[in-house]
Structure 1
């Protein structure tokens, strides 16, 4: 029975996350990942033939991990305002539990060279974005949001607002306050209720 590879793709991407969280996308080079993971350079190139493929997989795996926790929340509550509040809370909770990966996502796909990614990985990124659009559109429909202002309010409530709660702390390397999840949840519900109880 063959032995499992010592330096598998997951371990290399874990190393890339650490590098990106500490030094930004520019810190994620093939040789830096090899050093950080303790793998030979050849192992990195065997799994990622070029840096663009490495950066793409780093981004896509991180985004996929976030989506796996975030997207199901939209369906967990029948009442749409509660669903929106729970989604906003989940953004903060995931960032708290996955600080390094959250820092990676804050950089955005463009910072990881999306324009240079192989076509298959660009397609996967478009599919991931479409999943979020569908979730937001479904929530907007449940809320009766129809105008551009209403749709922007939904997006702000469950994406922009919780990101604002975590962004400055993640960038400054300071702990998220204990009330951050509650702030995001209440803020999202208040925004969508128009300040009405």
Structure 2
């Protein structure tokens, strides 16, 4: 029998499991290799460093999260975009804890390959483009005040609403959606009136 073959995704999944159990700071090359039963050389054949592995873990997680958010914005449904955070957190509780209870800087460190840096930059630009599109749709323009409202209602309120539940390892209850929706309507309605819509 030959040696088992390991893919990049196998190493990312092992890192994800360790990060979920102990936090991203506890992920080491040795622990990832042990978890897979893989030689360390197999790790370094695929990743230049632990930082690159953690960067890939963060990027794959944020891209998975962003799919539903971007789709809601592209469909012109800002409320669905705001409610995406609790919905996704219920479906993917471990990934939600990784993404929402840790800073990007807990993952994104060191020298990264150009492709990974590009991926991080592209996802950030995609998110900012969604905020700008929503600001124009909801408030008539994408100036600083409108972008601040968009960030608050689409990102800050939903994350704040689910964070305590994720820390307690419980799914966000339906009340969270009601609170997000009420806040969304209050801000969007007042912003629309202020914009003269």
Instruction: Please say whether Structure 1 and Structure 2 have the same fold, judged by a TM-score greater than 0.5.
Output: yes
Aligned CA distance change for structure 1 residues 20 and 141 (closer, same or farther; 3 Å): same
Q: Does 1:94 align with 2:115?
A: no
> How high is the TM-score relative to the length of structure 1?
0.85
Aligned position for 1:22: 21
Aligned position for 1:128: 123
Q: Does 1:60 align with 2:59?
A: yes
- The within-5 A match list for 1:75-90 is 75-77=74-76, 83-90=77-84
- Structure 2: runs of 5 or more not aligned: 193-197
The two structures, once aligned, show a CA RMSD in angstroms of 2.3
- The within-5 A match list for 1:130-169 is 130-143=125-138, 144-169=140-165
Aligned residue pairs total: 189
Q: Could you say what secondary structure the match of 1:39 adopts?
A: coil
Q: Distance in 1 between matches of 2:37 and 2:189?
A: 52
Q: Distance in 1 between matches of 2:137 and 2:95?
A: 31
Cα drift, residue 51 of structure 1: 0.9
Aligned position for 1:7: 6
Cα drift, residue 187 of structure 1: 2.3
> How high is the TM-score relative to the length of structure 2?
0.85
Aligned CA distance change for structure 1 residues 151 and 40 (closer, same or farther; 3 Å): same
Cα drift, residue 123 of structure 1: 2.1
CA contact (8 A) 1:31 1:41 kept: yes
- Structure 1: runs of 5 or more not aligned: 78-82
Aligned CA distance change for structure 1 residues 117 and 172 (closer, same or farther; 3 Å): farther
Higher mean displacement: 119-128 or 151-160: 119-128
Aligned position for 2:99: 105
